[in-house]
């Protein structure tokens, strides 16, 4: 896929060539998994990538990137549109390489209030969902579920559930009951990643509570953000094992939310 862009001059970004190593890694990983678990592809969302470009790296405030939104709205939209086109092409190529699900991370949404989020993030997230679905259909790649994760965008959970994705990812600050009330599709999340530092029994208790609050219908159990490098693998194992055991218990007894979230 070739995406036309313009910065200091005209250029063509061929993501299938420039990022060939990514697709080769996806194909190799898919082969090594041997169907044991699905392989998830991903990309940062437009505003998050824009933030890294303008800030030159991570930032606690994203003030430089937000300054663009307030002082250069036209340039901001131009950059976001460019990034959106590249992201769509990038994700389609990931599916062609073997990705079975896709997740779009708007990790910097927490720096945007409702108004800025709806103006500079949500429209591009919607465009990505529509563009990826159209692209994979045109290439005969089948039906690939899409997950959107907008960290800190608790104010727009309902709008995200109508953005064209199959699942809304939730960070650890979102109350499961509120999420279920405002999200009409499947949800993913949302244990605080730092809970994995807890003693085993406490971790089991927190994970059990999370699964019971969400129920098992239209739900993917996960952390509420990324896992940290110093996490003990045994804690991760405890988390996963607890999710499985509690889910099985709920399904045997009958999920009380089964009529609400089907």
pLDDT tens digits for the chain (262 residues)?
544 444 433 347 889 999 999 999 999 999 999 999 999 999 999 999 999 999 999 889 999 999 999 999 999 999 999 999 999 999 999 999 999 999 999 999 999 999 999 999 999 999 999 999 999 999 999 999 999 999 999 999 999 999 999 999 999 999 999 999 999 999 999 999 999 999 999 999 999 999 999 999 999 999 999 999 999 999 999 999 999 999 999 999 876 555 444 4
Strands 2-6 and 10-14: antiparallel
CA gap 205, 245 in Å, rounded: 12
Per-residue pLDDT at 158: 97
- Quick one: how far is CA 130 from the chain centroid? 15
Region class of 231: left (phi > 0), else alpha (psi between -120 and 50), else beta: beta
Please tell me the pTM assigned to this model.
0.91
**CA 237 to each of CA 30, 204, 211, 225, 246: distance values in angstroms, whole numbers, following the listed order:** 22, 11, 16, 17, 14
CA gap 123, 132 in Å, rounded: 14
């Amino acid at each position: 896929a070739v995406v036309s862009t313009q910065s200091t001059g005209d250029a063509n970004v061929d993501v299938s060539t420039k990022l060939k190593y990514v697709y080769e890694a996806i194909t190799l990983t898919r082969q090594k998994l041997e169907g044991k678990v699905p392989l998830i592809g991903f990309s940062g969302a437009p505003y998050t990538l824009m933030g890294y470009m303008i800030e030159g790296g991570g930032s606690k405030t994203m003030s430089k990137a937000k300054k663009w939104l307030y002082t250069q709205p036209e340039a901001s939209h131009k950059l976001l549109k460019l990034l959106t086109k590249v992201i769509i092409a990038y994700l389609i190529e990931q599916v062609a390489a073997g990705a079975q699900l896709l997740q779009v991370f708007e990790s910097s949404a927490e720096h945007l209030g409702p108004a800025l989020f709806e103006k500079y993030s949500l429209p591009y997230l919607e465009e990505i969902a529509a563009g990826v679905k159209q692209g994979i259909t045109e290439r005969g790649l089948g039906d690939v579920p899409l997950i959107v994760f907008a960290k800190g965008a608790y104010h727009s959970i309902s709008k995200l559930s109508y953005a064209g994705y199959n699942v809304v990812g939730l960070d650890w600050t979102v109350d499961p009951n509120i999420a279920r009330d405002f999200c009409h599709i499947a949800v993913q999340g949302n244990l605080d990643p730092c809970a994995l530092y807890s003693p085993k029994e406490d971790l089991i208790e927190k994970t059990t509570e999370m699964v019971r609050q969400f129920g098992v219908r239209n739900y993917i159990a996960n952390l509420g953000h990324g896992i940290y490098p110093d996490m003990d693998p045994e804690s991760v194992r405890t988390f996963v094992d607890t999710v499985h055991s509690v889910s099985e218990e709920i399904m045997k007894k009958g999920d009380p939310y089964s009529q609400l979230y089907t």
